[in-house]
Amino acid sequence: MPEALSPGLAAALGALQGVTEFLPISSSGHLSLAQAWLGVDPEAAGHRFNIVVHAGTLLAVLWVYRGDLLSLIRALLPGGEARSRRLLVALIVGTLPLGLALVPAIEGAVVAIEGRPAWIGVSLLVTAALLAYSHFARPRGDDPDAPPSAPQALVIGLFQLLAITPGISRSGSTIAAALGLGISRLEAARFSFLLSIPAILGASLKEVLEIVGQPTASAGDPLPYVIGFVTSLVVGLASLRLLVHLLVRVGLLPFVPYLVLLGLAAIVAG
């Protein structure tokens, strides 16, 4: 019998999202595995609940990088910093590949994978491979702390598109791509999380529009959704700062063994 989404379970899933959204271990993969293994009713806590808790972590990014966002706004005005304008162009270019995620066939495939632990396990192993690769990348160029160029941003954006697959970490894949392009660890993290803003915002708005377009469809008790949102926000603030600290000091390699073990467990458990 599928389990309903209780407030306690919603808080646990929201905390899980808050931790895994920023640590490079795939929040969507962890949420989908947790819901599948706990037997949670997919109608109560499936793709829609995932979007809600992702919105909580979006607010965490907006708060932590609020200074960068203000600089991006100023870049639109006369006299804005050239560095901020380059970053703004890079973010726009890096977001463009996500347009392919709106293709119905691709969206349907992503939703289908959310309910298949074995496929999520394979995706977790892909994430592990990306993180292992990134550990050996070294900063290149005259200014590795500069924002990505437009071609670099496009490559990073394609990796973000890949990460719509549950089990492939968005932060892990985009940071790994940036590091592979010779961008410094701190700038790679900053660009990755700023790039997540339009991605998560777009997915959240799309879900809201679908809800508005189906007024007769009920998402159930709204309280668990609120609890999941708040919990993901609070935990997300802490985990975002933690990841930036770990990335600068030791890189992403420490997460690889965990991802390999979890990925293999998901494949075996099926």
Q: Could you write out the DSSP letters of every residue in 78-125? A: TT--HHHHHHHHHHHHHHGGGGGGGSHHHHHHHHHHHT-HHHHHHHHH
The residues, any chain, with a CB within 8 Å of residue 106's CB and separated by 6 or more, are 100, 164
Coil, helix or strand for 3?
strand
User: What is the separation, in whole angstroms, between the first and last Cα of the chain?
Assistant: 19
Give the residue with greater pLDDT, 217 vs 32. 32
Residue 259 in tokens: 């991802």
Is the confidence at residue 1, as pLDDT, over 50?
Answer: no
Report residue 263's pLDDT band, with 50, 70 and 90 as the boundaries: very high
What pLDDT, on a 0 to 100 scale, did the predictor assign at position 158? 96
Report residue 42's pLDDT band, with 50, 70 and 90 as the boundaries: low
Residues 3 and 38 sit within 8 Å (Cβ to Cβ)? yes
What pLDDT, on a 0 to 100 scale, did the predictor assign at position 9? 84
The closest of 69, 127, 149, 144 to 252, measured between CA atoms, is 127
**What gap in Å lies between CA 5 and CA 166, rounded to an integer?**
21
Residue 219 in tokens: 């998402």
Residue length of the chain: 270
